[in-house]
């Protein structure tokens, strides 16, 4: 298994430009949108937050926490978003550790319940998340699954 580090972006602001470009290349959302959200994460509020997994200087994975991940259930907030792990690092526990790290970090910020929107089924359940309901992504006609994670003390 490759050695990697997971950290909140708010503690390593020198990564913002690279991280914004990296997330943009994975999810096809303008780099500017990621950069603006990442800069907001530096201001001390619980949401938004961004997390990276790096091997040396290489970004190998990441995820964010935003108010709403572009779906019609605005009441289900905040949302984990943009979880991605580079192909060579998949199957090594990076995504699971990213989720665990960000859940614990958000709990320290007073956010004990998180939601996420996905088309995946069993992965999140294996990571301690529970199916909650469906939600309709903005501009789509088919609903996706919403999972919930409640951090216990």
Q: What pLDDT is recorded for position 153?
A: 63
Provide the pLDDT for residue 1.
52
Q: Is 101 left (phi over 0), alpha (psi -120 to 50) or beta?
A: alpha
Give mean pLDDT, residues 109-118: 96
Higher-confidence position of 11 and 9: 9
Full domain range(s) for residue 49: 5-109
60 belongs to a structural domain: yes
Encoded tokens for 4: 């990697």
Residue 26 located in a structural domain: yes
| Ordered strands of the 113-118 beta sheet | 5-8, 49-55, 58-66, 79-85, 113-118, 144-150, 130-135
Average pLDDT over residues 126-134: 95
CATH number at residue 47: 3.40.630.30
Say if CB 77 and CB 46 are below 8 A apart. Answer: no
Task: Classify residue 72: in a domain, yes or no.
Answer: yes
**Mean pLDDT value of segment 61-73:** 96
pTM, to two decimals: 0.94
In-domain check, residue 127: no
d(CA 147, CA 19): 25
Would residue 116 count as lying in a domain?
A: no
Counting the structural domains of the chain, the total is 1
């Amino acid at each position: 298994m490759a050695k990697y580090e997971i950290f909140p972006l708010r503690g390593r602001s020198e990564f913002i430009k690279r991280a914004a470009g990296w997330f943009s290349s994975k999810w096809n959302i303008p780099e500017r949108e990621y950069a603006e959200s990442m800069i907001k994460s530096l201001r001390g509020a619980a949401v938004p937050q961004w997390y990276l997994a790096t091997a040396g200087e290489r970004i190998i994975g990441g995820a964010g926490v935003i108010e709403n991940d572009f779906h019609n259930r605005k009441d289900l907030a905040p949302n984990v978003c943009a979880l991605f792990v580079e192909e060579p690092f998949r199957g090594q526990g990076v995504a699971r550790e990213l989720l665990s790290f960000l859940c614990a970090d958000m709990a320290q910020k007073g956010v004990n319940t998180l939601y996420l929107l996905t088309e995946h089924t069993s992965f999140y359940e294996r990571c301690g998340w529970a199916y909650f309901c469906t939600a309709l992504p903005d501009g789509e006609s088919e609903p996706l699954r919403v999972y919930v994670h409640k951090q216990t003390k």
